[in-house]
Amino acid sequence: MTDLKKQKNNNSFNNKFVNILSKFKAGIGLIALVIVLSFASDYFLTFNNILNILRQVSIIGIVAYGMTFVILSGGIDLSVGSVLALSSAITAGVMSSTHSFALAVLAGLATGALMGTFTGFLVSKAKMPAFIVTLAMMSIGRGLTLIYTGGRPISEGFTDLFNYIGGGYVGPIPFPVILLLALLGIGYLVLNNTPYGRYVYALGGNEDATRLSGINTDKIKMTVFTISGIMAAVSGIVLASRLGSAQPQAGTGYELDAIATVVLGGTSLAGGQGGIIGTLMGALIIGVLNNGMTLLGVSSFFQQVVKGLVILLAVYIDRRTRETI
C-alpha cells in the first residue's frame, strides 16, 4: 500500500510538472534563449538592442494577435500578408491625396475589416474551407494591391503624425512597442474576460457542441476573421509609417511567420487551446533568435533553417506534452 501511495504521489507530481511545462513552455524557452545569447554576445543584453528587438517584432506580433483568434477558433488565415499590403497601400494613397491622417487610417482599417469580414462570410455562410478561402484571398489581396499602386511604392504626402506611428517614441520606448503591448492587453481581456472569448475557445474545442448549446458559431467565425483583418491593417499602417512608404510587396511571407509565432506561443493548430500572451512570447522567441544569430554573424540563409527547426521542435514538444496530459 505504501509503494502504491508513493507511485500515485509521483504520478501526481509528474502530471503537475507536465502541466506547468505545457502552460509556460514558451516563456521558459524564451528565458533559456536569452540566457544563452547573453553569454554568446556582449551586445545582446543591452537596452538599445532589447528595444530594437521589440521594435522588430511589433509588426509581426500584431498580425499574430489576429491570427491567434482565428487559430483558437479552429481556423487558419493565409491572407494576412496580402491584407497588410492592401491596407497599407490604401492608407498611403488616401494620405497622399487628402493629407488627412484620420481619414487615411480609417480607410486602411476599414479595408482590413472588409477583407476579413468577406473571408469570414465565405467560411461561415458558404461553408468553404478556411485554408482554400484564405489562399484565394491571399492572391486577390496581392493583386488588388498591385492594381491600386500600379506596382510602385507610395511615399508622398505623409503627415508628421502618421510618421510618428512607426518612428515615434513615448519616452525611450518606440511607439510601435507601446501599440504592441496595448493590443496585447485588449486581446487578453477579450479572450479571457468576455463571453465572446469563451465562445472562441469553445468553437475551437468542439464546434458541434458549441452550436448545439445555442451559440451562433457562424457569427463567431466571421468576427475572428474580421479581427484578423483589422490586426493585419494595423500592422500595415505601422510598417508604411516606419518605412516612409507603402510597398506593393509588403507583407510577403507574413502569413507563415504569423502562424509560426502563434504555434511557438503554444496555441494548438487544432483550436481551443492557447492564448495571446503565448503569441507574444512566440514573437519574442523568433525576434530574439533572429537578432542573436545576426549578432553572431550567422548567415541569413542558415537562419531560415534554424528558425524552421525551432518551429518543428516547438510543435513536437507541444504534441508530446498534450499526449502526456
Q: Where are the domains of the chain?
A: 26-324
User: In the predicted model, what is the mean pLDDT of residues 104-117?
Assistant: 96
Q: What is the pLDDT of residue 135?
A: 95
Instruction: Name residue, grid cell 511557438.
Output: 264
Torsions phi, psi for 247 (to 5 deg): -95, 135
| Radius of gyration in angstroms for the set of CA atoms belonging to the chain, rounded to a whole number | 21
Residue 108 scores a pLDDT above 60: yes
Cell numbers representing residue 23 in the block: 502552460
Q: Are 260 and 248 in contact (CB under 8 A)?
A: no
- Say what percent of the chain tops pLDDT 70: 90
Q: Which one-letter DSSP state was computed for residue 154?
A: B
User: In the predicted model, what is the mean pLDDT of residues 95-105?
Assistant: 92
User: In the predicted model, what is the mean pLDDT of residues 151-172?
Assistant: 91
Q: Which one-letter DSSP state was computed for residue 155?
A: -
Could you tell me the pLDDT band of residue 311, with boundaries at 50, 70 and 90? Answer: confident
Second-level CATH architecture of 26-324? Orthogonal Bundle (1.10)
Torsions phi, psi for 170 (to 5 deg): -110, 100
Q: Are 34 and 45 in contact (CB under 8 A)?
A: yes
pLDDT in tens, 23-64: 677 788 888 889 999 888 888 889 999 999 999 999 999 999
In DSSP notation, 51-72 reads HHHHHHHHHHHHHHHHHHHHHH
How far is Cα 187 from Cα 65, in angstroms, rounded to an integer?
A: 7
Q: What is the pLDDT of residue 124?
A: 93
Cell numbers representing residue 48 in the block: 538599445
User: In the predicted model, what is the mean pLDDT of residues 81-93?
Assistant: 96
User: In the predicted model, what is the mean pLDDT of residues 198-225?
Assistant: 93
How far is Cα 53 from Cα 45, in angstroms, rounded to an integer?
A: 11
Report the residue count for the chain. Answer: 325
How far is Cα 122 from Cα 127, in angstroms, rounded to an integer?
A: 6
Amino acid in position 224: V
How far is Cα 235 from Cα 100, in angstroms, rounded to an integer?
A: 19
Q: Nearest Cα to 126, choosing from 118, 114, 135?
A: 118
